[in-house]
Protein backbone atom coordinates (compact mmCIF):
# COMPACT_ATOMS: atom_id res chain seq x y z
CA UNK A 1 0.00 0.00 0.00
CA UNK A 2 2.83 2.37 0.85
CA UNK A 3 4.31 1.85 -2.60
CA UNK A 4 1.24 3.51 -4.12
CA UNK A 5 1.00 6.33 -1.59
CA UNK A 6 3.83 8.60 -2.87
CA UNK A 7 2.70 8.61 -6.53
CA UNK A 8 -0.84 9.32 -5.40
CA UNK A 9 0.25 12.28 -3.30
CA UNK A 10 2.34 13.67 -6.18
CA UNK A 11 -0.64 13.46 -8.54
CA UNK A 12 -2.90 15.11 -6.00
CA UNK A 13 -0.40 17.92 -5.45
CA UNK A 14 -0.22 17.23 -1.75
CA UNK A 15 3.46 16.40 -1.65
CA UNK A 16 6.19 19.04 -1.62
CA UNK A 17 9.78 17.93 -2.22
CA UNK A 18 12.16 19.01 0.54
CA UNK A 19 14.64 21.80 -0.24
CA UNK A 20 18.19 21.92 1.03
CA UNK A 21 20.11 25.06 1.90
CA UNK A 22 23.92 24.92 1.85
CA UNK A 23 25.42 25.52 5.24
CA UNK A 24 28.70 26.92 3.83
CA UNK A 25 29.54 28.74 0.58
CA UNK A 26 32.71 27.62 -1.20
CA UNK A 27 35.11 30.41 -2.08
CA UNK A 28 36.25 30.77 -5.70
CA UNK A 29 39.93 30.74 -4.89
CA UNK A 30 41.30 30.34 -8.42
CA UNK A 31 41.39 34.04 -9.25
CA UNK A 32 41.48 37.23 -7.14
CA UNK A 33 38.08 38.59 -6.22
CA UNK A 34 36.34 35.34 -7.04
CA UNK A 35 35.61 36.43 -10.63
CA UNK A 36 36.75 35.03 -13.95
CA UNK A 37 39.70 36.97 -15.29
CA UNK A 38 40.21 38.00 -18.90
CA UNK A 39 41.81 35.30 -21.00
CA UNK A 40 45.36 35.83 -22.21
CA UNK A 41 48.42 33.95 -23.47
CA UNK A 42 49.92 31.42 -21.12
CA UNK A 43 53.70 31.74 -20.94
CA UNK A 44 55.37 28.58 -19.75
CA UNK A 45 58.76 30.26 -19.61
CA UNK A 46 58.13 34.02 -19.55
CA UNK A 47 61.81 34.88 -19.08
CA UNK A 48 62.96 32.96 -22.15
CA UNK A 49 63.83 34.92 -25.30
CA UNK A 50 62.25 33.31 -28.35
CA UNK A 51 64.14 33.67 -31.62
CA UNK A 52 62.68 33.10 -35.07
CA UNK A 53 64.58 31.46 -37.88
CA UNK A 54 67.60 33.55 -38.78
CA UNK A 55 68.13 34.16 -42.51
CA UNK A 56 71.00 32.25 -44.05
CA UNK A 57 72.79 33.01 -47.28
CA UNK A 58 73.64 30.53 -49.97
CA UNK A 59 76.79 28.53 -49.39
CA UNK A 60 79.72 28.86 -51.78
CA UNK A 61 79.24 25.35 -53.17
CA UNK A 62 75.59 26.14 -53.92
CA UNK A 63 76.61 29.23 -55.87
CA UNK A 64 79.43 27.36 -57.60
CA UNK A 65 76.91 24.86 -58.97
CA UNK A 66 73.86 27.07 -59.56
CA UNK A 67 75.39 30.07 -61.37
CA UNK A 68 76.67 28.06 -64.39
CA UNK A 69 73.34 26.22 -64.56
CA UNK A 70 71.37 29.46 -64.64
CA UNK A 71 73.72 31.21 -67.07
CA UNK A 72 74.34 28.48 -69.63
CA UNK A 73 77.86 27.67 -68.42
CA UNK A 74 78.91 31.22 -67.57
CA UNK A 75 80.49 31.63 -64.14
CA UNK A 76 82.50 34.10 -62.07
CA UNK A 77 86.18 34.16 -63.07
CA UNK A 78 89.34 36.14 -62.47
CA UNK A 79 91.50 37.75 -65.17
CA UNK A 80 93.15 34.40 -65.94
CA UNK A 81 89.83 32.61 -66.29
CA UNK A 82 90.01 30.77 -62.94
CA UNK A 83 86.74 30.05 -61.17
CA UNK A 84 86.57 32.54 -58.29
CA UNK A 85 84.11 30.32 -56.44
CA UNK A 86 87.07 27.93 -56.11
CA UNK A 87 89.96 30.35 -55.64
CA UNK A 88 88.21 32.50 -53.03
CA UNK A 89 86.71 29.79 -50.85
CA UNK A 90 88.34 31.04 -47.64
CA UNK A 91 87.30 34.65 -48.22
CA UNK A 92 83.74 33.61 -49.08
CA UNK A 93 83.42 31.44 -45.98
CA UNK A 94 83.62 27.88 -47.25
CA UNK A 95 84.92 25.30 -44.78
CA UNK A 96 88.50 24.14 -45.44
CA UNK A 97 88.51 21.68 -42.50
CA UNK A 98 91.84 23.05 -41.31
CA UNK A 99 90.95 26.42 -39.83
CA UNK A 100 87.21 26.46 -40.59
CA UNK A 101 85.06 23.40 -39.97
CA UNK A 102 81.67 24.76 -40.99
CA UNK A 103 80.50 26.82 -43.94
CA UNK A 104 79.69 30.41 -43.11
CA UNK A 105 76.02 31.09 -43.89
CA UNK A 106 75.43 34.38 -42.07
CA UNK A 107 75.02 37.41 -44.38
CA UNK A 108 77.90 39.87 -44.13
CA UNK A 109 78.96 43.13 -45.83
CA UNK A 110 82.11 41.47 -47.23
CA UNK A 111 80.15 38.64 -48.80
CA UNK A 112 77.62 41.11 -50.24
CA UNK A 113 80.44 43.15 -51.78
CA UNK A 114 81.86 40.12 -53.58
CA UNK A 115 78.40 39.03 -54.71
CA UNK A 116 77.87 42.47 -56.25
CA UNK A 117 81.12 41.97 -58.17
CA UNK A 118 80.05 38.48 -59.21
CA UNK A 119 76.63 39.65 -60.39
CA UNK A 120 78.10 42.49 -62.43
CA UNK A 121 80.50 40.16 -64.22
CA UNK A 122 78.15 37.22 -64.78
CA UNK A 123 75.23 39.36 -65.95
CA UNK A 124 77.55 41.34 -68.22
CA UNK A 125 78.78 38.14 -69.87
CA UNK A 126 75.20 36.93 -70.32
CA UNK A 127 74.12 40.20 -71.92
CA UNK A 128 77.09 40.09 -74.31
CA UNK A 129 76.20 36.55 -75.37
CA UNK A 130 72.52 37.48 -75.76
CA UNK A 131 73.53 40.35 -78.03
CA UNK A 132 75.31 37.88 -80.30
CA UNK A 133 72.41 35.40 -80.35
CA UNK A 134 70.10 35.91 -83.33
CA UNK A 135 67.47 33.48 -82.04
CA UNK A 136 65.71 35.11 -79.06
CA UNK A 137 64.54 31.74 -77.71
CA UNK A 138 68.20 30.80 -77.10
CA UNK A 139 69.02 33.91 -75.09
CA UNK A 140 69.87 33.68 -71.41
CA UNK A 141 68.19 36.83 -70.13
CA UNK A 142 65.86 38.13 -72.84
CA UNK A 143 64.02 35.39 -74.74
CA UNK A 144 60.99 37.72 -75.03
CA UNK A 145 62.57 41.07 -75.97
CA UNK A 146 59.32 42.55 -77.30
CA UNK A 147 57.26 41.81 -74.17
CA UNK A 148 58.87 43.27 -71.06
CA UNK A 149 56.42 41.84 -68.53
CA UNK A 150 56.56 38.37 -70.08
CA UNK A 151 60.35 38.48 -69.95
CA UNK A 152 60.26 39.61 -66.32
CA UNK A 153 57.93 36.71 -65.48
CA UNK A 154 60.46 34.40 -67.12
CA UNK A 155 63.34 35.85 -65.07
CA UNK A 156 61.33 35.87 -61.84
CA UNK A 157 60.69 32.16 -62.22
CA UNK A 158 64.24 31.41 -63.37
CA UNK A 159 66.09 33.26 -60.61
CA UNK A 160 63.63 33.34 -57.71
CA UNK A 161 61.47 30.29 -58.35
CA UNK A 162 58.35 32.48 -58.18
CA UNK A 163 55.61 32.04 -60.77
CA UNK A 164 53.78 35.27 -61.54
CA UNK A 165 50.45 34.58 -63.32
CA UNK A 166 49.53 36.43 -66.49
CA UNK A 167 46.90 38.48 -64.67
CA UNK A 168 49.34 39.61 -61.95
CA UNK A 169 52.29 42.00 -61.79
CA UNK A 170 53.35 41.24 -58.20
CA UNK A 171 57.09 41.82 -57.88
CA UNK A 172 57.42 43.01 -61.49
CA UNK A 173 56.61 46.71 -61.56
CA UNK A 174 59.79 47.92 -59.85
CA UNK A 175 61.87 45.70 -62.13
CA UNK A 176 60.04 47.07 -65.15
CA UNK A 177 60.74 50.61 -63.99
CA UNK A 178 64.42 49.74 -63.56
CA UNK A 179 64.55 48.25 -67.05
CA UNK A 180 62.83 51.24 -68.63
CA UNK A 181 65.03 53.81 -66.90
CA UNK A 182 68.27 52.12 -68.01
CA UNK A 183 66.96 51.19 -71.45
CA UNK A 184 66.02 54.80 -72.14
CA UNK A 185 69.59 55.90 -71.43
CA UNK A 186 71.78 53.17 -72.92
CA UNK A 187 69.66 50.52 -74.64
CA UNK A 188 67.69 47.33 -74.07
CA UNK A 189 70.64 45.03 -73.35
CA UNK A 190 71.89 47.32 -70.60
CA UNK A 191 68.37 47.39 -69.22
CA UNK A 192 68.32 43.60 -68.91
CA UNK A 193 71.81 43.70 -67.43
CA UNK A 194 70.55 46.00 -64.65
CA UNK A 195 67.55 43.75 -64.02
CA UNK A 196 69.78 40.68 -63.88
CA UNK A 197 72.11 42.25 -61.30
CA UNK A 198 69.18 43.39 -59.17
CA UNK A 199 67.59 39.94 -59.23
CA UNK A 200 70.59 37.80 -58.36
CA UNK A 201 71.71 40.09 -55.55
CA UNK A 202 68.19 40.20 -54.10
CA UNK A 203 67.33 38.32 -50.87
CA UNK A 204 64.97 36.09 -52.88
CA UNK A 205 68.03 34.67 -54.62
CA UNK A 206 70.81 34.95 -52.04
CA UNK A 207 69.07 33.96 -48.80
CA UNK A 208 66.76 31.26 -47.51
Question: For every one of its 208 residues, what pLDDT tens digit does the chain have, with 9 covering 90 and above?
Answer: 455 455 554 555 555 555 555 555 555 555 555 555 556 665 555 555 556 667 778 889 999 999 999 999 999 999 999 999 999 988 888 877 777 778 888 888 889 999 999 999 999 999 999 999 999 999 999 999 999 999 999 999 999 999 999 999 999 999 999 999 999 999 999 999 999 999 999 999 998 8
Whether residue 172 is contained in a domain is answered as yes
Number of domains in the chain: 1
Is residue 27 one of the residues assigned to a domain?
Answer: no
Q: At what angle do helices 109-132 and 188-200 cross, to 10 degrees?
A: 150
Range of the domain at 182: 60-206
Cα distances (Å, whole numbers) of residue 135 to 26, 102, 148: 88, 44, 17
Q: Is residue 135 part of a domain?
A: yes
Report pTM: 0.72
Q: Is residue 20 part of a domain?
A: no
Amino acid sequence: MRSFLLPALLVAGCYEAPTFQPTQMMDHHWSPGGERQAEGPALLHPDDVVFGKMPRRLRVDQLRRSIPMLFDGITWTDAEGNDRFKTMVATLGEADYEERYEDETAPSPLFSKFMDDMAGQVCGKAVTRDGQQADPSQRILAPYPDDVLRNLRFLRLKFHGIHVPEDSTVGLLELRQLYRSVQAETGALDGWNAVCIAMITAPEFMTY
